[in-house]
Amino acid sequence: MIALIAEKPSVAKDIALIIGATQRNDGYLSGNGYMVTWAFGHLIQLAMPEAYGMANFRRESLPILPPDFQLIPRQVKAEKGYKADPGVLK
């Protein structure tokens, strides 16, 4: 079986269609001797200013140069603010 990794889900679906990998599985498509899975463009990002103790962020506070930058999973908009993207966590 040959495994292919695409940049994002939409590209993986296009590749799978071309090579005949039509069976949907959890996190990949398979068939015709192939497995096609995908990544997410950016899995992690820098933490927001609040993570560095800057509750009332202002443009005048730039640049933010903490001693250590914090990396967090990619965030998506939620009802109240942002939360980690469930697909990236999986």
Q: What is the pLDDT of residues 27-61, one digit of tens each?
A: 899 999 999 999 877 888 999 888 888 878 788 87
For residues 69 and 50, give the distance between their C-alpha atoms in angstroms, rounded to a whole number.
Answer: 12
Tell me the CA distances in angstroms from 2 to 10, 17, 33, 81, one per residue in order.
19, 15, 6, 41
15 has a pLDDT exceeding 90? yes
Report yes or no on whether pTM surpasses 0.85. no
